[in-house]
Amino acid sequence: AARAVSGVQGLQPYQPGKPVSELERELGISEAVKLASNENPLGPSPRAVKAARGVLGEAHVYPDGNGFELKAALAARHGVDPAQITLGNGSNEVLELIARTWLAPGRASVFSAHAFAVYPLVTQATGAEARVVPAVSADDARQPFGHDLDAMRARVDDDTAVVFVANPNNPTGTWLDAQALEAFVAAMPPQTIVVIDEAYAEYVEEDGYPDATRWLDRYPNVVVTRTFSKIQGLAGLRLGYAVSSAPVADMLNRVRQPFNVNAVAQAAGLAALEDSDHIRHSVAVNREGLVQLGRELRAMGLRVIPSVGNFITFDTGTDVNAVHDRLQRRGVIARPVENYGLPGHLRVTVSTAEDNERFLAALREALA
Ligand code: PMP
């Protein structure tokens, strides 16, 4: 059944994966591998690193509070006006800005069960109600545990200020096609902000996967969020953004802290955008890794959720925390996703062929 929750007391703190250095210290080893946070195994573009270094000498100067150059580059990339871009300290901050702008006690957000953990955080922090809608059944062939758009639509009413849709979704890796998602957006009340979280968009190569930034002219209540943390390999610098109609961006910019995106992130992000080779290579490595991990996990008899992201979630069929501990003792950090309502499930970030194999070998031992 649908759940309605509100208040900060009802929240669980976000639990990031253990840092590699901490596990290495604990185990007295020097080569642990972290596959817990959907980071890019190839690292950032070398051009981004160079650009980041290049601005350190100007560290005494405030960053450009309007992110002029980066916004211009992003606007050109998406074919929109710079006034339609809002920069954030990671896309998490953009999600928080959206919540602070439109949510309040007496209002509600709607999102799917097993969706990204930050939606309840930012909702309940404002005193608004989080309406968690049951997902597609585990037995569905195409998107087990994915968003049930009809069920979500049924939970939207006059109090619903924000709807969060992750496409693809984390941690399931499931995705929505253009037809289904556009029909959903078209059915939303015009005053409801529809967030389409595309943190993993660049990885998706499936036909029919929509770029929701194309819909902004028709649906000015849509906000598309993107990040530099995944394909761009810049998670440590915290850079994300929203693409929306100009009036929506104007609202977000009223709430935004003046210097929320630092100068290093702005410089690195700008340089990263120009390195299309790095993106192409990252997509190709991920595609091979998805195939490798999917095939090998299924060969072990495990139930795998089909993923189009840079991670795969599967049912360990046993006590996932015990499996997680055994993996850590072998120097591998993955992520149990019980807190996403998926008991027994483990999420692993897709990495290089070598690290994927290392994970698989450790998992075979952990499950033996
Ligand atoms: N949305 C989704 C679906 C995510 O998985 C993540 C990262 N875990 C984010 C947003 C936020 O990423 P960041 O704040 O690093 O941009």
Pair (156, 199) in one structural domain? yes
The CA-atom distances, in angstroms, between 271 and each of 74, 105, 221, 278 are 12, 41, 31, 11
* 234, 85 Cβ separation under 8 angstroms: no
Residues with Cβ within 6 A of ligand 1?
A: 38, 90-92, 116, 166, 170, 197, 199, 227, 229, 235, 240
Total number of domains in the chain: 2
Pair (268, 282) in one structural domain? no
- For 294, the domain range is 16-44+277-367
Pair (282, 269) in one structural domain? no
* 144, 113 Cβ separation under 8 angstroms: no
Amino acid at 54: G
Pair (162, 24) in one structural domain? no
227 CA closest ligand 1 atom index = 16
CATH number of the domain bearing residue 299: 3.90.1150.10
- Cα(229) to centroid(ligand 1), Å: 7
Pair (211, 264) in one structural domain? yes
238 CA closest ligand 1 atom index = 15
For residue 9, being part of any structural domain is answered with: no
H/E stretch holding 235 reads: none
- Cα(199) to centroid(ligand 1), Å: 6
pTM of the model: 0.96
Instruction: Tell me the average confidence (pLDDT) per consecutive run of 10 residues in the chain, 368 residues long.
Output: 79 79 84 95 98 98 98 98 98 98 97 97 96 96 96 96 98 98 98 98 97 96 98 98 98 96 98 98 98 98 98 98 96 95 97 98 97
- Largest pairwise CA distance in the chain: 57
94 CA closest ligand 1 atom index = 14
Q: Please identify, among 274, 296, 321, the residue that sits at the C-terminal boundary of a domain.
A: 274
Pair (148, 263) in one structural domain? yes
Helix, strand, or coil (residue 31):
coil
Pair (163, 92) in one structural domain? yes
- Phi, psi angles (nearest 5°) of residue 181: -70, -35
Token pair listed for 301:
């008899």
Q: Please identify, among 211, 239, 274, the residue that sits at the C-terminal boundary of a domain.
A: 274
